[in-house]
Amino acid sequence: MQSGPTAPINFMRFAKWSPRIRSFVGNHLVMALAILSLPFLLFSLATLSRFPQLVEWIYVRRLYALVAKTLSPLSAAIPFSLSEISLYLGILGAALWGFRGIWRRRFARTALELFAGAALLALWFYLAWGFNYLRPKIEQQLRLAAIEPDSLALRENFLWCIEQTNAAWQPVAPWSLQHLDREIERGYAEVFAELNLPQIAGNWPPKFLLMPQLLDYTLASGIFGPLFHEVHLNSHLLPVEMPFVLAHEKAHGRGFARESEASFIALLVCLRSKNTGIRYAAYFSLLGRFRARYRQYADYDSLQQRVRPEIDADFEMVWRRMEKYLGPLAEFAQKSYDFYLRANQVEGGMENYSDVIDLVMGWREGGKEF
């Protein structure tokens, strides 16, 4: 600690500079708060990840339920995607703001302003939806049987899926989106009531993008926009794909963030339907996951021969829809999404999609049928 004549000198220096400090803080208060919110957010994520049940009761069933109930009807009233328009405006605005900073030679200040904007975006993402990644896993919520790696059990379930898909096959005609949406919502009401899952009140009608190429070139069949609570479908989906993708994205809207869990909920919902086309679409999607996982085994080809040729033809049509978009952009998008999932504590990243198989096996191991 200093003493003597130096203390007044330091005080005088502080008094001289304090108006400038107050002026800076006053002019940049929002930016400062936005930047400071980022370490607070990171601390919250690290802390809450240790208390998933707390996330379930405080965030999912209260805060998130309120956000979904309030925001989704407002977005649903607008026929186009607010998420898509905001993406374009955000990119344009950031580019113009960056160019403005370069033109005025305010490099550091502009960088801080853009960083503050990104911090606010991240904060809203987690408040509006992202904390759902930290809720208890669905295996715990539904008390599913634990599944150990077992090639025999996998083979038995693969055969079961082949039989169910063969029996469910039928030509699928183009859908009326309104009719499909109502049928999926009816399934959600029944399944969630039966399983005692939290009923998140929201309105998520399917929307198409003005530029579906955004989904095509990233190999995305659909996407849930958490910032405005919107469900988007790729308008180039085949009829056999659409029911399951819609149900999957609606599961995200109801707070199931992990991809495997959204797929499992979508499977339960679609298989509850009396519409045979919706049921076939669910088994068709699940069979695709089983085929991808079982392909490494020696008897894959012999089992695959049991699949109806009409189903193989449907897989071929889906592949033809997607293969023309394969390339560096698709690879970059897949790797970026893998990084995003891992950053949100989703084990395996993109491989989590195939973990729906483990959930199905755990469901059946517990004596439950679809």
pLDDT one-digit tens code per residue, 284-331: 999 999 999 999 999 999 999 999 999 999 999 999 999 999 999 999
pLDDT at 184 over 60: yes
Please check whether residues 159 and 238 belong to one and the same domain. yes
Is residue 107 domain-shared with residue 36, that is, in the same domain? yes
**pLDDT band at 12, cuts 50/70/90?**
low
Domain assignment present for 4: no
Find the mean pLDDT for residues 339-351: 95
The per-residue pLDDT for 370 is 87
Strand arrangement of the beta sheet that strand 222-225 belongs to: 206-208, 230-233, 222-225
Average pLDDT of 78-98?
96
pLDDT tens sequence across 136-170 = 999 999 999 888 878 999 999 999 999 999 999 99
Residues 111 and 34 in one domain: yes
Is 144 a member of any domain?
A: yes
Q: Is residue 1 part of a domain?
A: no
- Non-local (6+) Cβ contacts of 159 within 8 A are 303, 306
**In which domain, by residue range, is 209 found?**
137-365
Read off the pLDDT band of 17 (50, 70, 90): low
The pair of structure tokens assigned to 300 is 């894959």
Q: Is 258 a member of any domain?
A: yes
- Of 133, 151, 179, which closes a domain? 133
**Domain identity same for 116 and 181:** no
- The answer as to whether 312 is a domain residue is yes
Residue 57 lies in a domain: yes
Residues 64 and 180 in one domain: no
Q: Locate tokens 């295996």: which residue?
A: 139
Residues 122 and 219 in one domain: no
Domain-located, residue 247 = yes
Q: Is the pLDDT of residue 49 over 60?
A: yes
Which of 84, 115, 133 lies at the terminal end of a domain, its last residue? 133
Domain count across the chain? 2
- pLDDT the model gives residue 150: 87
Quick one: 309 and 173 in the same domain? yes
- pLDDT at residue 3, rounded to an integer: 47
